[in-house]
Amino acid sequence: MAIQTSSNSRRERWVKALLPAVAVLAVYLVYHALGPNRKLKELNEELGDVAKNAVTPDMVANSLIQKKQAQTSFEELQTQIRSTEEGINASIAIFTGASQTEQMMAVGDLCRQYSVGIVKQQDLAGVEVSALREKSLRTLKQLLAPSELSFRQLDLVGRYSDITQLLKQIPETVQGVLPVGIELVALDGQRTDLETLSPDQRMWRVYLVM
Amino acid sequence: MLRSPKRPITLLVITRDQVLRADGKNGNLRTFFQSDRPARTPLPAAVELAISLSKEKPAQQTIVIADEIWTGVIDVDERSIAGLEGDELDQMLRFETETLSNLDPMNSQIGILELAPVPPDTRRFWCSAIASEVLAGINAAVMLRGGKCQFCTHPAGMANPEMRGIPWVEFTENLAGAYMIGGDGLPRASIAPRSKTSNRWYKAFELNFGSELPDEGWQLDSSAPPEAYTGNLQRIDTEEKIQHWINILASRLYHTTPIPVVAPPVPETTAAFMTQVGVIAATVITMASVGHFLWTKYEIQSVEQEIVSLREPRDEKLALERDIAKLTKQIAENTVSLTEQVIQRRELQLLTERSDRYADLLKQLAITCDQDIVVDDIKPSVKGIRLSGRALKSESPNMLAIALGPKALQMGWSVSPPSLTGENKLVNGGPWKFHLELADITPEAHLTETFQSTLANQAFGKEGKSN
């Protein structure tokens, strides 16, 4: 007996006719559920998160103002740095370029001009100065090359007024030579090298940086 | 029977001698066309003739009323049709009416209306029947002219007063009918074919109706009622009366008129039609899916754009904050650098400015030292310069310190009070050895002390003036 697979009823014919449409619809619904709909759902969730952390134009404007203020501060600071650098360079410029021998010759000329005798002249690794001046000398050493900076000790013999004039003239006349310390050698009567001095002459020790 | 009064209707009334067409809507028939029916014209041809009476195409609610359609009432034993309904009951009744209608049950269509049953076990049906080929011909004639045949029926019982409980009778040349709607809502009818040879049909007619025949009714043609009937009949013989009758008939069509009608069979759907339906449905679904897909894609794009538009200010702010942080860091670094440079510059200024201060110091010492004081020794110290000497008076070193103080401040030294040691060689304990410390000071300290000493001088001056 043949198995009846189709009753060819009206309902069956309608089902057959609409089956492709239903199949297309089912396939599309599955695709939509797994593809675009899922993506749309994820995007909507993302949109919610983004909307929660959204930034208003006012906040951006504030940040822009802050940036401009920071830029202005930075530029002002740069200007100050340049100005300070120029000041520093101007301060150290007097120590550079000149020959130390020529500077000493000029100092010697001044000593002769003011009748001050040079008893002794020697290079020093450093000079004994106050802590405050020590900082300044250390800074100068940092900024200058070692060959450009030296310390010199001069033992001088002369009258008080001449020494005063000499100390006044050295920084004014000889550029790049600065007195950083003086010492009046005491007359303790035991030093034979002072016996030849006239009554108004004294032994002076001057420390120069050049 | 007709559901939409606003839609136009066309009534095609076919009698043995005449054809009539009436058109209208809302139960009002406005145009009437009437013509003689040629002899031996089949019903479909008569219908076509009636349609052709007007140039207008027949309405989508076209009703064919013809006295050639068989109608009658039959009684059926309830047990023989127990459980039957729908098509099965129709088929059963076609067989039951075969002897009366002389129509082949397999090739005819029937319309039935169940009447009030006859106790104890009889069900009564009012039936109308027509040959299938005739019905198909009528349907085709109407369709060819652009209309749609709603149903066909016999005119008997159609123009009822529609008033519950008021019965009426109708007499035609071949039929006699009596109709009423009982108090129980069930219709009652008795229809009997008239015989010209005897009046026994009349007795059966009365008997089947179950009560005395109504006094009011229609006399549809020239045939007179039997002499036994004494009621008052309206004779429909003139054209005006026919139109009046048709108008009443039409107005009843929108009510549940209890008459049996035969509707043309719904044509079977062909395979090609089903294929077309399938293709159209698949196409519509596909297009709808594509449309929905495009809409979803558009939605996704719009949401993505919205996210981007919301993120843009945020990204811009983040970039600005990064720039601000970078600038702040650079500012901090430059501030440190500037601070170092300022310190360096100050230290260098300390060294280079007032480079003649040693000469000034010696000059001031020469000015301020009196005859009672001798400076023996000047030596560098950790703080600055240390002056050592001798004084004949104990107050002389102090006077020296006081006198030297303001000038020394301008030169960058702060003068501390002298330390004294008497040698006790004189009557007053002197001479005294003294030490005077001149401490280097920073420019700020220098300025501050200068300012303070200026204030002190001003205050002292005021006090002096007041004294």
B453: Cα within 13 Å, side-chain hemisphere: 17
Task: Count CB neighbours of B400 within 10 A.
Answer: 25
Question: Residue A186 domain-assigned?
Answer: yes
Mutation for testing the A interface, residue in B344, B375, B435, B441 having most A CBs under 10 Å: B344
Residues 95-124 of A with CB under 8 A from B: none
Q: Verify that A140 and A45 share a domain, yes or no.
A: no
Query: Out of A56, A64, A139, whose CB is closest to B344?
Result: A139
Last residue of one domain, picked from the residues A19, A35, A52: A52
Q: Is A179 on the interface with B (CB under 8 A)?
A: yes
Q: How far apart are CA B392 and CA B373, in angstroms?
A: 6
Give the range of the structural domain holding residue A18, as residue numbers without chain letter.
11-52
Query: Out of B289, B311, B381, whose CB is closest to A25?
Result: B289
Mutation for testing the A interface, residue in B276, B279, B285, B343 having most A CBs under 10 Å: B285
Kindly report, residue by residue over B406-435, the tens digit of the pLDDT: 888 888 899 999 999 988 888 888 889 999
Q: Verify that A136 and A43 share a domain, yes or no.
A: no
Question: Residue A113 domain-assigned?
Answer: yes
Is this model's pTM higher than 0.80 or not?
A: no
Tokens of A46: 């993302």
Residues 373-402 of B with CB under 8 A from A: 375-385, 388
Supply φ then ψ for residue B268, to 5 degrees.
Answer: -65, 140
Q: Is B366 on the interface with A (CB under 8 A)?
A: yes
List of chain A residues whose C-beta atoms are within 8 Å of the C-beta of residue B441:
132
pLDDT for A197 equals 63
Q: How far apart are CA A94 and CA A43, in angstroms?
A: 71
Q: How far apart are CA A49 and CA A47, in angstroms?
A: 5
A112: β partners: none
Q: Tell me how many domains chain A contains.
A: 2
B9-252 matches B357-466 in fold: no
Q: Verify that A26 and A114 share a domain, yes or no.
A: no
Residue A83's SS3 state is helix
pLDDT for B456 equals 47
Q: Does the CA dihedral B443-B449-B452-B456 come out positive or negative?
A: negative
List of chain A residues whose C-beta atoms are within 8 Å of the C-beta of residue B379:
183-184
Mutation for testing the A interface, residue in B343, B355, B365 having most A CBs under 10 Å: B355
* Contact assignment for A43 to B300 by CB distance below 8 Å: yes
Mutation for testing the A interface, residue in B352, B415, B416, B446 having most A CBs under 10 Å: B352
Q: How far apart are CA B337 and CA A71, in angstroms?
A: 17
Q: Is the pLDDT of residue A189 over 60?
A: no
CA A190 to chain centre: 55
Domain B9-252 sits in CATH at: 3.30.420.380
Residues 40-69 of A with CB under 8 A from B: 40, 43-44, 46-47, 50-51, 53-57, 59-60, 63-64, 66-67
Q: Is A192 on the interface with B (CB under 8 A)?
A: no
Instruction: Please answer whether residues B191 and B209 qualify as being in contact, where contact means their C-beta atoms are separated by less than 8 angstroms.
Output: no
Question: Residue A3 domain-assigned?
Answer: no
Mutation for testing the A interface, residue in B286, B317, B328 having most A CBs under 10 Å: B317
Q: Verify that A47 and A105 share a domain, yes or no.
A: no
- Domain residue spans in chain B? 9-252, 268-353, 357-466
List of chain B residues whose C-beta atoms are within 8 Å of the C-beta of residue A44:
303
Contacts of A37 (CB under 8 A, 6+ apart): B296
The amino acid present at A123, given as its one-letter code, is D
Residue that wins the pLDDT comparison between A57 and B211: A57
Of all residues in chain A, the one with the smallest CA distance to B351 is A136
Helices (H) and strands (E) in chain B, counts: 10, 18
Q: Is B462 on the interface with A (CB under 8 A)?
A: no
Kindly report, residue by residue over B223-267, the tens digit of the pLDDT: 777 877 888 888 887 888 888 888 887 877 776 657 888 988 877
Of all residues in chain A, the one with the smallest CA distance to B344 is A139
| Arithmetic mean of pLDDT, A66-85 | 92
Residue B349's SS3 state is helix
pLDDT band at A191 (very low <50, low <70, confident <90, very high): low
Q: ipTM of the predicted structure?
A: 0.76
Of all residues in chain B, the one with the smallest CA distance to A52 is B310
Q: Which helix (H) or strand (E) holds B188?
A: strand B187-193
Size of interface A-B (CB pairs under 8 A): 220
Query: Which of A167, A172, A173, A178 is closest to A140 using CA atoms?
Result: A178
Of all residues in chain A, the one with the smallest CA distance to B316 is A60
Q: Is A131 on the interface with B (CB under 8 A)?
A: yes
B131: β partners: B108
Work out whether strand B168-171 and strand B216-219 pair parallel, antiparallel, or are unpaired: parallel
* Contact assignment for B338 to A51 by CB distance below 8 Å: no
pLDDT for B115 equals 86
Question: Residue A6 domain-assigned?
Answer: no
Residue that wins the pLDDT comparison between B315 and A4: B315
CA-based max dimension of chain B: 197
Query: Edge to edge, what strands does the sheet with B9-14 contain?
Result: B28-36, B18-25, B9-14, B61-66, B149-153
Residues 134-163 of A with CB under 8 A from B: 135-137, 139-140, 142-143, 160-161, 163
pLDDT digit string (tens) for chain B, length 467 residues = 666 667 889 999 998 888 999 998 776 778 889 899 998 899 999 999 999 999 999 998 899 999 889 999 898 998 888 888 888 888 889 898 888 888 898 999 999 988 888 888 899 999 999 999 999 999 999 999 999 998 999 888 877 655 555 788 888 888 888 888 777 778 888 888 888 788 788 888 888 887 788 888 888 776 777 877 888 888 887 888 888 888 887 877 776 657 888 988 877 778 888 889 999 999 999 999 999 999 999 999 999 999 998 888 888 999 999 999 999 999 999 999 999 988 888 888 888 888 888 999 999 988 888 888 888 889 888 888 999 998 988 888 888 899 888 888 888 899 999 999 988 888 888 889 999 999 988 755 555 554 445 444 444 444 434 33
pLDDT for B279 equals 93
Of all residues in chain A, the one with the smallest CA distance to B275 is A17
Q: Verify that A105 and A203 share a domain, yes or no.
A: yes
Q: Is B269 on the interface with A (CB under 8 A)?
A: yes
Q: Verify that A109 and A205 share a domain, yes or no.
A: yes
Q: How far is A106 from chain B (nearest CA, A)?
A: 17
Instruction: Please answer whether residues A61 and B320 qualify as being in contact, where contact means their C-beta atoms are separated by less than 8 angstroms.
Output: no
Return the CATH fold of B357-466: Gyrase A; domain 2 (3.30.1360)
Query: Out of B343, B358, B366, whose CB is closest to A179?
Result: B358
* Contact assignment for A67 to B375 by CB distance below 8 Å: no
Q: How far is A2 from chain B (nearest CA, A)?
A: 24
* Contact assignment for B306 to A47 by CB distance below 8 Å: yes
Query: Out of A37, A131, A178, whose CB is closest to B352?
Result: A178
Q: Is A194 on the interface with B (CB under 8 A)?
A: no
* Contact assignment for B440 to A130 by CB distance below 8 Å: yes
Of all residues in chain B, the one with the smallest CA distance to A13 is B274
| Arithmetic mean of pLDDT, A77-101 | 87
